[in-house]
Each structure stands twice: as C-alpha cells, then as structure tokens.
C-alpha cells in the first residue's frame, strides 16, 4: 500500500534574490522553506479575512468621525464651540437681582460643566458637558456666579468692555469726583 499525501504541491518561480531571502529566513527559524511559505500564505489570508470582516466597522467608524468633524466645523464656522451646544441662543432678559449678584465678580473663567447650573444673569439652564463661565471674586462666602456663553459674548460686545449697569466713567484712585 502506498500512503497518499493530503497536501498538494504548488511550484512557483521566484527571483534569485527572493529565493536567497527565503532560504536565509528559513534557516534562521530552523524550518524548511516550504513550511515557512505555507505559514506566510496562511497568515496572509487570515489577515485579509480579518480586515474584510471588520471593514464594515472601519467604514462606520470613519463615517461617524467625518460627521463629527463636519458638525464641529460648522459650529466653529458659526462662532460656537461644540461644547457650548444648548447655550447658542441669545441670553434671556436679565433676572431682577442679576446686577447685584454679578457686581462682585472680577473676572470670568471658562469651564466645562460636570453638573447642571443656571446662568446668574438670565436663569438659562446650563447642562452637564456645556461650556459656562464661573465668576471669580475676592469674597469666597458669596454664592457662585455663572454665566452662559451668550452672556459672556454680550460682555465682549459692549463698548470699552463695559457690562450693563456699570457707570460710563468710574473715578480712578486719587481722581476727584
């Protein structure tokens, strides 16, 4: 009885330089050239199968990324930041006590909210994840002051950096009134 081989023989012509590379690599790995070529072919086809199987995921991730980039670019083009969503509209009418509560604020620090707050000026609800502005003042016992992005934008658009209810001219130290 003759034993029948299950594997098939395939011959291929290769350039001399590739033959030398294959033989050297097979020697280095302590295997035959035939076994090494078989392993390379199997690994290559497995890699291609894996890429093809995941192409839908790669494409959907790419589409999601492109949509996010496009949305963010449109928001930036309109002068809004993606994190300021929900506070793009004009600031509402000031609350009755807004001027008193905002008067001790010396500066505004831009933050990204982790908890919802209300704008001290207009009462707009600012949700977690949106940009808001925290008022900085010398008296830590005072309640925190928050501004929505449109309220800060309105501050920047006032003549000479003035805020509403501020006198047109404040006397400087040593200046007579």
59 shares its domain with 104: no
CATH value at residue 102:
3.30.1740
- pLDDT tens, position by position, 75-126: 666 554 444 444 445 677 888 888 888 989 999 999 999 999 999 998 888 9
Angstrom distance (rounded) from CA 135 to CA 103: 10
119 and 146 co-located in one domain: yes
Dist CA 146 CA 141 (whole Å)? 15
Number of CB atoms found within 10 A of residue 148's CB: 30
What average pLDDT score do residues 15-39 get? 94
**Over 90: is that where the pLDDT of 1 sits?**
no
In a shared domain, residues 25 and 72: yes
Reported confidence tier of residue 56, pLDDT bands at 50, 70, 90: confident
Rounded Cα–Cα distance for residues 151 and 164 (Å): 11
Angle at 7 between CA 6 and CA 12, to 5 degrees: 155
Q: What is the pTM of this model?
A: 0.42
The residue among 146, 153, 89, 144 whose CA lies nearest residue 121 is: 146
174 within some domain: no
| Residues of the domain holding 25 | 16-76
- What b-and-e string marks burial along 59-70, b requiring 16 or more CB atoms within 10 Å of the CB? eeeeeeeeeeee
What does the block give as tokens for 136?
């900085």
Structure token pair of residue 163: 């805020």
User: Which residues, in sequence order, are bridge partners of residue 118?
Assistant: 125
Q: Which residues contact 158 (CB under 8 A, 6 or more apart)?
A: 164
Q: pLDDT confidence of 38, banded at 50, 70, 90?
A: very high
Give the chain's domain count: 2
Same domain for 114 and 146: yes
pLDDT tens digits, one per residue of 138-168: 988 888 999 998 888 887 776 544 545 544 4
């Amino acid at each position: 009885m003759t034993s029948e081989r299950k594997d098939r023989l395939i011959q291929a012509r290769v350039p001399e330089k590739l033959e030398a590379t294959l033989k050297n690599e097979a020697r280095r790995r302590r295997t035959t050239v035939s076994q090494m070529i078989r392993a390379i072919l199997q690994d290559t086809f497995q890699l291609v199968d894996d890429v093809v199987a995941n192409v839908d995921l790669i494409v959907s991730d790419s589409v999601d990324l492109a949509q996010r980039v496009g949305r963010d670019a449109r928001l930036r083009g309109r002068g809004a930041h993606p994190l300021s969503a929900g506070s793009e509209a004009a600031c509402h009418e000031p609350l009755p006590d807004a001027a008193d509560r905002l008067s001790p604020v010396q500066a505004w620090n831009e933050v990204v909210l982790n908890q919802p707050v209300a704008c001290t000026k207009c009462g707009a609800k600012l949700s977690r994840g949106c940009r808001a502005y925290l008022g900085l003042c010398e008296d830590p016992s005072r309640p925190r002051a928050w501004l929505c992005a449109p309220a800060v934008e309105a501050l920047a658009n006032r003549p000479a950096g003035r805020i509403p209810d501020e006198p047109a001219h404040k006397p400087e130290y040593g200046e007579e009134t």
